């Protein structure tokens, strides 16, 4: 006698007597990550740093680990500053103008305890340190770190200089690189002296 209802699906079932549902094949996250187009050509596509261009450059061996960390801290400072910009506004003379955080939980007049002031200072200080490395370094770092763009080959030295400068600013290196202090000699190296 035929059972009523829909036909039973074919396939392997769980061995548990109470749960006789179909066994579904599980795909590993590493195998799925290896198929993603932006993670191809990386030694460890399953690594979480492969999600950004900065991380992929580090996995390909084009950046040092401290440069990756400096770029991540720079992006974190930028995101926290941008989040602060969309905060509540104060009403002055019938118009909404300026950012008013309310003094960050009652800390009115004390700029050192205000979280909004700290976020602004952290971003402006990091950006100022990066500008001291030169405009090519600033543009290369912002293109790769903030906008997740590809870094052209001719801007790689500027990117290295900017990330090394940021690492020194954030205190990720013991000593700032001597070559990074003289940005013109780093970006445009002099030809070796001829001995005659």
Task: Kindly list the domain boundaries of the chain, sorted by start residue.
Answer: 51-86+115-181
Question: Over 90: is that where the pLDDT of 46 sits?
Answer: no
Question: Over 50: is that where the pLDDT of 193 sits?
Answer: no
> How is residue 13 annotated by DSSP?
B
Distance CA 129, CA 160 (A): 14
Please report which confidence band the pLDDT of residue 119 belongs to, taking 50, 70 and 90 as the band edges: confident
Distance CA 51, CA 41 (A): 13
Q: What is the arithmetic mean of pLDDT over 105-130?
A: 77
> CB of 133 within 8 A of CB of 183?
yes
Please report which confidence band the pLDDT of residue 191 belongs to, taking 50, 70 and 90 as the band edges: very low
Could you tell me the two tokens for 151? 């870094």
Q: What is the arithmetic mean of pLDDT over 113-134?
A: 87
pTM comes to 0.66
Tell me what pLDDT residue 144 has: 93
Question: Over 70: is that where the pLDDT of 37 sits?
Answer: yes
Helix, strand, coil shares, percent, the chain, to 5? 55, 5, 40
Distance CA 93, CA 96 (A): 8
Mean pLDDT (the chain) is 77
Could you tell me the two tokens for 160? 């290295």
Question: Over 50: is that where the pLDDT of 107 sits?
Answer: yes
């Amino acid at each position: 006698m035929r059972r009523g209802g829909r036909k039973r699906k074919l396939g392997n079932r769980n061995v548990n007597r109470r749960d006789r549902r179909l066994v579904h094949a599980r795909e590993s996250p590493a195998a799925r990550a290896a198929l993603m187009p932006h993670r191809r050509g990386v030694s460890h596509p399953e690594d979480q740093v492969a999600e950004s261009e900065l991380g992929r450059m580090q996995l390909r061996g084009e950046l040092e680990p401290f440069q990756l960390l400096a770029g991540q801290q720079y992006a974190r400072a930028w995101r926290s500053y941008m989040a602060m910009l969309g905060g509540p506004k104060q009403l002055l003379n019938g118009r909404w103008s300026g950012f008013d955080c309310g003094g960050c939980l009652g800390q009115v007049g004390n700029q050192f305890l205000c979280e909004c002031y700290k976020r602004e200072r952290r971003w402006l200080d990091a950006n100022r340190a990066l500008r001291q490395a030169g405009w090519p370094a600033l543009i290369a770092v912002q293109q790769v770190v903030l906008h997740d763009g590809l870094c052209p080959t001719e801007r790689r030295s500027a990117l290295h200089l900017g990330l090394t400068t940021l690492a020194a600013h954030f205190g990720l290196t013991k000593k700032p690189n001597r070559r990074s202090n003289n940005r013109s000699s780093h970006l445009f190296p002099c030809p070796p002296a001829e001995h005659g």
